[in-house]
Amino acid sequence: MSQPTPSTKHAINLIRKLDLIAEQWQPRVVAEMNDYQFKVARLQGDFIWHSHAETDEAFLVLDGTLRLDFRDGSVTLGSGELYVVPKGVEHKPCAEEEVKLLLIEPRGVLNTGEQGGERTALNDLWI
């Protein structure tokens, strides 16, 4: 699906958007605000250690439990909880059971940050 036109007036149902995604670790854009994108994703298992040198990254858990590991500890988020990873901080998301979440980050940010590799998702894919 392509980006909605500015004249399109409709509410975005995040749960319905997530129902359209089958793949894990493949964020899909649902909205933009200025240069920021709102992306929904399904996660399960361990991701890779990575960071984003130029930007913060926000995780809002919609359903499930997400652990964000850091080199000096971790934070666990449940449904309805938000955490902002500061720019430059190395982190690794982990979900024992499937998690549905909303990511908020600037347009063009890769999910694997500077790490890259086979887990890097395509950018700017709208749903």
% of the chain beyond a pLDDT of 90: 85
Query: Structure tokens of 104?
Result: 């908020």
Q: What is the mean pLDDT of residues 85-109?
A: 97
User: In Å, how far are 59, 114, 118, 119 from 87, measured between CA atoms?
Assistant: 13, 12, 22, 20
Please report the pLDDT score of residue 127 as a whole number: 94
pLDDT, average across residues 44-59: 96
In sequence order, what are the beta bridge partners of 103? 39, 59
Q: What is the pLDDT of residue 119?
A: 87
Report the length, in residues, of the chain: 127
Whole-model pTM: value is: 0.91
What is the average pLDDT across 97-117? 93
pLDDT in the model for residue 24: 95
Q: What is the mean pLDDT of residues 108-120?
A: 88
Q: Are 75 and 68 in contact (CB under 8 A)?
A: yes
Judged by average pLDDT, the poorest of 39-43, 90-94, 117-121 is 117-121
Q: What is the CA radius of gyration of the chain?
A: 14
How much is the pLDDT for 89? 97
Query: What is the Cα–Cα distance from 63 to 106, expressed in whole angstroms?
Result: 23
